[in-house]
Structure 1
């Protein structure tokens, strides 16, 4: 049988990232996310049952998890409910702890509107399969080996180097090619003779600097956000997923620490799930976030407060609301640089917005640099490598 790759979701779209890889008789899944659309929420797991390489979903050897965002981990409870025996969901320690918090929010009995998706037993089974491994250490299993490398993007996010019978496959997940206030850029050693690069490329079709417009200086979104505090007594920022709340709270806290806002008594209030994730960061990084408090009825509605909450999880009357959904990714130049640095035998570009276009600017520029083995992935289409 030929080695093959199929995107079950997150191919030519942002959302529901889930990728199947068959290599030398072994079956792997990279990520299992979800979309925010109610009618098409999950990856096409049913495609797996159509493959000649798989008799049942239990033929999957393991699941690799790149990071803790719902579009990469939110479909795990549904996927594991289809397995007759437990499999390892391989991840970093950060991803394990963050995902436990995130997935528990999705329980039907969590009590948070719009997030009650799964029976509690499905979530408990998924979190029970999460298995953390150290970064930059080769782990040998029976039929394969893997090494996790820091990818940036959010704390604990990893790239996975998979090795099967001498073949090397690198899955990037979302990554950062520059240092952010919250995380440093990705870190990879020199990889010789890479057979396949599966690269998540949110910025493949755009050259604009999303970091600068969101968190940079001048009229960036975070600076304008802080300016709004002077216009309203209270500001409630509603976010789609708890990890965004973590990022926002830390980044705004860091911005306040650099200014003279302390005399104004500004406090950042967060939901309990966000507070739990912040606690993990404080313990692992040895930091203390001076301006952040957990939201409760006793400290609610203080003057000059920023309230970061899951969408519709908290009722705050007479408070100016701002719905913010964002994510920070690799730049266009970063994608190009990574591909040219590794020069794999084959590159598959996933997780991009836009139609398949063989002549887009990235493909053209790679060809000018002498690299032509690059292809955009379409969901549910088989790719032989």
Structure 2
């Protein structure tokens, strides 16, 4: 009789548990079943997407159509305390009590409560999906430490105003644009296992030309050229199979060659050359279309950068031939300022 009693008891437990349970479907790639209703608790089992679980229905809020027998003395229903439950109780395959995060399952109510959760809330991002984005690199699962990038870009932006003191009023000015050509070579840093950080160097050539008309009936033309070299660092803040968004920074140490040409209505003309050095930090953002010509490995890039010009001075050793043109000026002083450029170009990946 003892074995029969045990079987009957077991059947009663299963029946009671089934009566108090409701189905729920896992909606993430791999949901953990925890030993306690706490995110930091020990994981007892992992359940894959689409798996059905039995959930203790006592934790769930009732349907609005379900009879509420909890009433006051006048027969009016008392308000129900709807707790914000974060974990639902279930069972592992071994029969152990376990808890699963409520946001990782869709409870099958078979009533209007199912409308409270959209069918696939993790379509764009699944926090449990550990799989690597495809296509996988040729060297997977090994990390290639020799990855590198090379850039060539052409940029344009507003030019800086003249820093030269003519000693008289400027009647009219025609300030040109600043054009630049930039080359960058960078390699993936060794500590980065996700192919996002790159460090290297940049070489930049830029120039601008502006014309001024001053009150003493003379015309001047200023041509400003510079060559800069310095470190470069970048980080890919967003990427997918076809697009890439990169934040970059660095600075250049620049050599300036500044030419000032002046001419008068009576045919007098003189040119003086000013030179000097400066440091310009920069910060920018690059948007890349990967492999825009299929099979070439070349990316089309479009970006913008802000350049911070620290104060610097240009000087000249060219002697003055026509005193009235130069106001005895032998230096050009530039204060701190900021400029911005937009650029486009190509990027090669190695």
Kindly name which structure, 1 or 2, has the bigger radius of gyration based on alpha carbons: 2
Return the TM-score normalized by structure 2.
0.19
Q: Of Structure 1 and Structure 2, which has the larger fraction of its residues in helix?
A: 1
Return the TM-score normalized by structure 1.
0.18
Q: Which has the higher contact order (CA 8 A, sep 6+)?
A: 1
Q: Of Structure 1 and Structure 2, which has the larger fraction of its residues in strand?
A: 2
